[in-house]
Amino acid sequence: MHLDDTAHILGTADFFSICNLEQRRMLAFASDRVRLSSGEMLFEKGQVTDGAYVLVSGELVVKGTPGTEEKDVAIMHPGTVMGQLALITRHPRRATIVCVSAAELLLVPRSAFSKLMEQFPDVARRAVELIRNDIGAYVAPLREAVRKG
């Protein structure tokens, strides 16, 4: 895949819209392509990985909590970023993700994103804001449930 094509793909993913074209090219250069077949696992809940994945083609499914009656929680479509928190910290994955149909992904390494944030502090500020908003959206329903309970 050509560098500009990869940079464009990163630009279609909401999280990487915080980067300009030059910055996305830097990330594209460091990114790895990953191909999965139907039924293959991208990662398992609790696993620590070294970056975030961007779904280029295919479909993935987020599985429910292992040890319970496992169900599909969400379907991931092209442009979805999985694990953006792993770009800034070594944090265990919160869910298991499995390939539904043949898929191609980009793995953006934490090391490349860390270098980018060092070189461009504005990217770091925007990343923190996006992650804060994502966590806030996740926590808000929990706070409401606690308040009612």
pTM for the model stands at: 0.84
Predicted pLDDT of residue 63: 87
Residue 8 CA to residue 64 CA, distance in Å, equals 32
* Residue 63 CA: distances (Å) to CA of 5, 55, 100: 30, 16, 11
> Is residue 14 scored above 80 in pLDDT?
yes
**Domain assignment of residue 97, given as a range:** 3-148
Residue 96: beta bridge partners?
63
Per residue in 37-85, pLDDT (tens digit) is: 999 999 999 999 899 999 999 999 998 765 555 667 789 999 999 988 8
65 CB neighbour count, 10 Å cutoff = 13
Residue 27 CA to residue 137 CA, distance in Å, equals 27
Residue 103 CA to residue 36 CA, distance in Å, equals 5
How many folded domains does the chain comprise?
A: 1
Per residue in 98-132, pLDDT (tens digit) is: 999 999 999 999 999 999 999 999 999 999 898 88
The CATH number assigned to the domain holding 9 equals: 2.60.120.10
Residue 38 CA to residue 22 CA, distance in Å, equals 34
